[in-house]
């Protein structure tokens, strides 16, 4: 049994042990997901797991909040006086220190006893040492992957122990997940983009080099493209070609293009598995 299934079993047992008592499902699911992600990234002996989870939650909170500096990107001093820049810098330094410690411990272990973990760190170290890619892989590249996946964690809220190979049978459940992500996109404002040339969008002239922020929630609830846009209707996805990969700009819960969320498959499996487990065991 893989560690994903083991953690889901533990999650189910904890919920079952709380019969007659209120259970904060969101916190329990987040803790389970974070444990799975940390084991996938760092193996079974990540001493810094709790600190990493706390920092990741801070990053998500800052990324999804409302800040005046986002409305006036040319006024760079706003990010300084609002305290946003200093908070992000502090979190970034803390993450760097933790990653450096993890990398150094793994590097020393690989030199003394060889590769011992089948996790993402070893995979990336192997790529770095063998040089099988057309671009150079550095510790900073590895950190970027971890940070990207950490941002994603809050978006993906679950897992389940019915075999992953059986999930394709649950057609309506997939419609429910699509509709949920349409109405409740985790980070409504997607990563900023920079115009490569002057364009006109919606009657507005966007100059070259201007940063543009796409509102993914507005796209997913635009009545021009969605009937009863604010109504939860999973059936709307029947016999449609909408997917999670940004091919239709009216539905981009994970973004689109080169900066699309790198953890789509990992996250969707987690959501489906947990939801199925909860529906199977609890009323």
Q: What is the residue-wise DSSP string for 56-107?
A: HHHHHHHHHS--HHHH-TT-THHHHHTSHHHHHHHHHHHHHHHHHHHHHHHH
Nearest Cα residue to 141 out of 165, 121, 164, 117:
121
Q: Model confidence at 104, in pLDDT bands (50, 70, 90)?
A: confident
Determine the pLDDT at residue 252: 93
> 130 or 140: whose pLDDT is higher?
130
Domain ranges of the chain: 3-160+264-281, 165-259
Per CATH, the number for 3-160+264-281 is 1.10.630.10
User: What pLDDT was estimated at residue 6?
Assistant: 74
The answer to the question of whether 46 is labelled as a binding residue is no
Indicate the pTM of the whole model. Answer: 0.54
pLDDT tens readout for residues 54-95: 887 777 777 666 667 666 766 777 777 777 778 878 888 888
pLDDT-derived band at 118 (thresholds 50, 70, 90) equals low
């Amino acid at each position: 049994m893989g560690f994903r299934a083991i953690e889901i079993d533990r999650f189910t047992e904890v919920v079952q042990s709380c019969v007659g008592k209120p259970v904060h499902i969101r916190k329990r699911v987040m803790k389970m997901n974070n444990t799975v992600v940390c084991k996938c990234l760092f193996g079974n002996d990540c001493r810094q797991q709790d600190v990493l989870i706390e920092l990741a939650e801070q990053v998500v909170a800052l990324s999804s909040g409302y800040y005046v500096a986002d409305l006036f990107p040319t006024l760079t001093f706003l990010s300084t006086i609002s305290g946003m820049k200093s908070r992000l810098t502090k979190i970034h330094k803390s993450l760097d220190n933790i990653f450096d410690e993890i990398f150094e411990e793994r590097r020393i272990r690989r030199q003394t006893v060889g590769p011992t973990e089948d996790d993402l760190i070893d995979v990336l170290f192997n790529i770095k040492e063998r040089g099988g890619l057309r671009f150079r892989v550095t510790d900073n590249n590895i950190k970027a992957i971890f940070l990207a996946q950490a941002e994603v964690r809050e978006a993906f809220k679950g897992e389940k122990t019915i075999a992953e190979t059986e999930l394709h049978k649950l057609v309506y459940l997939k419609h429910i997940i699509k509709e949920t992500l349409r109405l409740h996109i985790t980070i409504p404002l997607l990563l900023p983009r920079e115009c490569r040339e002057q364009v006109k969008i919606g009657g507005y002239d966007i100059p070259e080099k201007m940063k543009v922020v796409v509102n993914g929630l507005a796209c997913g609830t635009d009545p021009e493209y969605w009937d009863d846009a604010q109504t939860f209707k999973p059936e709307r996805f029947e016999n449609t070609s909408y997917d999670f990969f940004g091919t239709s700009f009216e539905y981009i819960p994970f973004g689109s293009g080169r900066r699309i969320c790198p953890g789509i498959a990992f996250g969707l499996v987690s959501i489906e598995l947990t939801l199925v487990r909860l529906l199977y065991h609890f009323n």
